[in-house]
A and B are shown apart, each in its own frame.
Chain A
Amino acid sequence: IATFLGRKLQPRPQNEVEETLKRIQGQKGVQGIIIVNAEGIPIKTTLDNSSTVQYAGLIHQLVMKARSTVRDIDPQNDLTFLRVRSKKNEIMIAPDKDYFLIVIQNPSD
């Protein structure tokens, strides 16, 4: 049973996934959304091929490192969210056991 904050989750039906992605993509400054699986292989993306692959690979490594950092400091802790803020944009990563959701945003847009 999947839980988040102790609540059992009911999955959103598939046809809402598309709409939700479109909605997020339409929000202020959002440049792209990528969903990758635990192996770093992209499942869904709104960017072009090469960018997707680049982001997926690099971010996957970064998340692994961040996650292990958190766990090393406290084995009972775990990574829940990662934000990489840079001069030009911000990358937000919501990692899960099996998937990551990556959103790239330029907040000043």
Chain B
Amino acid sequence: VDYVRSVDYLMYGLICVVLAPPAAVFRTLQWDTDPSALQLQADSELGRRMHRLGASKIVQIDFVPKELVTYTKETQTPSAAHQSEEEEEDEESSELKASPQTDQPEEEGEAEDSKEAHPRELTEEEREQILHSEDFLVFFERSVSVVERALAEEGDIFFDYSGRDLEDKEGDMQGGSNLSFNRVFHDDHWSKHRVVTCLDWSPQYPELMVASYNSNEDAPHEPDGIALVWNMKFKKTTPEYTFHCQSSVMSVGQIVLWDNRSHRRTPVQRTPLSAAAHTHPVYCVNVVGTQNANNLITVSTDGKMCSWSLDMLSQPQESMELVYNKSKPVAVTGMAFPAGDVNNYVVGSEEGMVYSASRHGSKAGIAEMFEGHQGPVTGISCHNAVGTVDFSHLFITSSFDWTVKLWSIKHNKPLYSFEDNADYVYDVSWSPVHPALFASVDGMGRLDLWNLNNDTEVPTASVTIEGACALNRVRWASGGREVAVGDSEGRVWIYDVGELAVPHPEDWSHFARTLVEIRANRGDGEEEGAVELPA
């Protein structure tokens, strides 16, 4: 079963890059030559056939317009806007504007001088025709999107008080004032029965985030890979954009690129199925660089790292195999770049080891190994809150071994191990603004916020999300005031982080002291074999 694994939100325009790991079944793909088709057709060994989209039977709500008394009034002066002279009449509430080409039906009962009576109505065929026309459908889609946003907004301007609670705030949803439930994004059609595989926030529009989902086992005819863009700003509960790709082609790891600017729902580019690219599931994707000069870096589970230019996904710009100590390649499960670094990065592996690596230079490839986890590494995050002290050498990892570990790139053993969880920890993420704050999520539905300046033994704030089974992904919004959490049921939960999220200038020096304490207390077990690594 194939699914969408990871997604990254890029800067210009809005490009979602989605990766899909493979399925056991290799399926051939044929492109539908009809450019207006929204989905690809794929033959399948399992005999699954794509649904060809077409018109379905429509229930027509029919009516017969009443006989209307109408009149037309010609405009005096033709102009760009069809403006006509308004004459207020006492009995009339409004006047008809004539459009040059047709007559208009008028409100019954407001009889005026009736020059012509044209109760033009549409026949069944005419109506059908309109409803099927491309013009209409385009109008419909756009208008519906706008109206839905408007519908969700309430008439706040008329209230003296903001007594309206936007969302239900049940007791167990709260994590105290520090961590409070904001909303949940879920689409009955698209995200039900799908696991959230990745989340990312838009660097350009802070209220937008994209979530990728894997396939819906209950609905084999639905697309395998989908990505939904959700909008935090408006209260409407439906996604802004929906992207899908029939990733049944992804028997090997492929990368597909959707371009939101083109408003197509299917990918605009995809990488080839060739040995030059990835032949194994791609679990990590990262865009590094600036808005103008950037590269897409991808790593697959067979340890192959490729660097791509987004303009051309037909072949990677460079690729290398990540091998440690000249032995077998690393099965990479996660990758992270420290803030501002485009060359050096860290990866987590299935075996539980973490490695540092670099893209270029004399020692390109895997550099050091970091041992500590006893199970596959599920998430890895580099420190990126910029402040008075540089902590960019720090990174954190989460693992199946129920722990989160804090590392420095300078030591091959963990600086600290956080052991407050009782299940697989699925993801971990540093706050983008607070130097000592990170979030972690586990398989029991727990979202934890750790403020290391406050306590290193237990999370500073924690909430168990009711109704969520396992939490797969956690990502901070760019402002560091909200976290998005994806679960195994296709829901994306947005939590507001209160004062806890706001960094103070002394937090940096405080964290530096905290690190010193951590190192000092590092315990004998950790010290064995610890090696100071060359910078």
Chain A interfacial positions (CB closer than 8 Å to B): 2, 4, 6-15, 17-18, 20, 23-24, 27-30, 35, 37-46, 48-50, 52-54, 56-58, 60-62, 64-65, 67-68, 70-72, 75, 81, 83, 85, 90, 92, 94, 96, 98-99, 101, 103, 105, 107
**Known contacts A13-B137, A68-B82; A41/B63 CB under 8 A:** no
The docked-state distance in angstroms from the alpha carbon of A15 to that of B146 is: 20
Contact B38 A10 (CB under 8 A): yes
The docked-state distance in angstroms from the alpha carbon of A37 to that of B289 is: 49
Contact A14 B137 (CB under 8 A): yes
Name the residue on B nearest A98 (C-beta).
B135
The docked-state distance in angstroms from the alpha carbon of A28 to that of B99 is: 36
29 contacts between A and B (CB under 8 A): A4-B138, A6-B261, A7-B261, A10-B265, A15-B53, A15-B58, A17-B58, A17-B140, A28-B151, A39-B102, A41-B120, A41-B121, A53-B65, A53-B105, A54-B107, A57-B106, A57-B107, A61-B96, A71-B80, A72-B83, A90-B155, A92-B147, A94-B142, A94-B147, A96-B139, A99-B139, A99-B140, A101-B139, A103-B150
* Inter-chain contacts of B155 with A (CB < 8 A): 85, 90, 107
The docked-state distance in angstroms from the alpha carbon of A95 to that of B64 is: 24
The docked-state distance in angstroms from the alpha carbon of A57 to that of B105 is: 6
Name the residue on A nearest B13 (C-beta).
A7
Task: Other than A50-B66, A57-B68, A96-B139, give 19 A-B pairs with Cβ distance below 8 A.
Answer: A2-B138, A4-B138, A7-B261, A7-B262, A12-B140, A18-B56, A18-B59, A24-B151, A28-B151, A30-B151, A41-B121, A44-B61, A45-B63, A53-B108, A54-B107, A58-B94, A65-B94, A99-B136, A103-B150
Name the residue on A nearest B105 (C-beta).
A57
Contact of A105 among B120, B131, B151, B238 (CB under 8 A): B151
Contact A10 B263 (CB under 8 A): yes
How many residues on B have C-beta within 8 angstroms of the other chain's C-beta atoms?
64
The docked-state distance in angstroms from the alpha carbon of A57 to that of B142 is: 23
* Inter-chain contacts of A45 with B (CB < 8 A): 61, 63
* A interface secondary structure, majority: mixed
The docked-state distance in angstroms from the alpha carbon of A66 to that of B243 is: 36
* Inter-chain contacts of A49 with B (CB < 8 A): 63-66
How many A-B residue contacts, CB cutoff 8 Å? 182
Contact A75 B131 (CB under 8 A): no
**Known contacts A2-B138, A94-B143, A94-B146; A67/B81 CB under 8 A:** yes
The docked-state distance in angstroms from the alpha carbon of A24 to that of B151 is: 9
Name the residue on B nearest A73 (C-beta).
B81
| A49 vs chain B, min Cβ distance (A) | 4
Contact A13 B83 (CB under 8 A): no
* Inter-chain contacts of A42 with B (CB < 8 A): 63, 65
* Inter-chain contacts of B132 with A (CB < 8 A): 14
Name the residue on B nearest A23 (C-beta).
B238
Contact A71 B83 (CB under 8 A): yes
Rank and list the top 6 A-B pairs by shortest CB-CB distance, nearest first. A71-B81, A11-B137, A94-B143, A15-B56, A49-B63, A101-B143
* Inter-chain contacts of A94 with B (CB < 8 A): 142-143, 146-147
Contact B55 A15 (CB under 8 A): yes
| A12 vs chain B, min Cβ distance (A) | 4
Contact B144 A20 (CB under 8 A): yes
| B221 vs chain A, min Cβ distance (A) | 14
* Inter-chain contacts of B58 with A (CB < 8 A): 14-15, 17-18
Contact B138 A41 (CB under 8 A): no
**Known contacts A39-B104, A98-B139; A103/B147 CB under 8 A:** yes
| B13 vs chain A, min Cβ distance (A) | 10
Of A45, A57, A61, A81, the most chain B CB neighbours within 10 A belong to A57
B122 within 8 A of A: yes
| B386 vs chain A, min Cβ distance (A) | 34
Contact A107 B154 (CB under 8 A): yes
| A104 vs chain B, min Cβ distance (A) | 11
* Inter-chain contacts of A60 with B (CB < 8 A): 104
| A45 vs chain B, min Cβ distance (A) | 6
B130 within 8 A of A: yes
* Inter-chain contacts of A72 with B (CB < 8 A): 81, 83
The docked-state distance in angstroms from the alpha carbon of A60 to that of B198 is: 46
**Known contacts A14-B137, A50-B66; A61/B94 CB under 8 A:** yes
Contact B63 A13 (CB under 8 A): no
| B88 vs chain A, min Cβ distance (A) | 12
B270 within 8 A of A: no
The docked-state distance in angstroms from the alpha carbon of A38 to that of B100 is: 12
| A96 vs chain B, min Cβ distance (A) | 4
| A61 vs chain B, min Cβ distance (A) | 5
Contact A2 B265 (CB under 8 A): no
Contact of B142 among A4, A24, A35 (CB under 8 A): A4
**Known contacts A8-B263, A24-B147, A30-B151; A53/B66 CB under 8 A:** yes
B95 within 8 A of A: yes
Contact A9 B142 (CB under 8 A): yes
B148 within 8 A of A: yes
The docked-state distance in angstroms from the alpha carbon of A76 to that of B127 is: 32
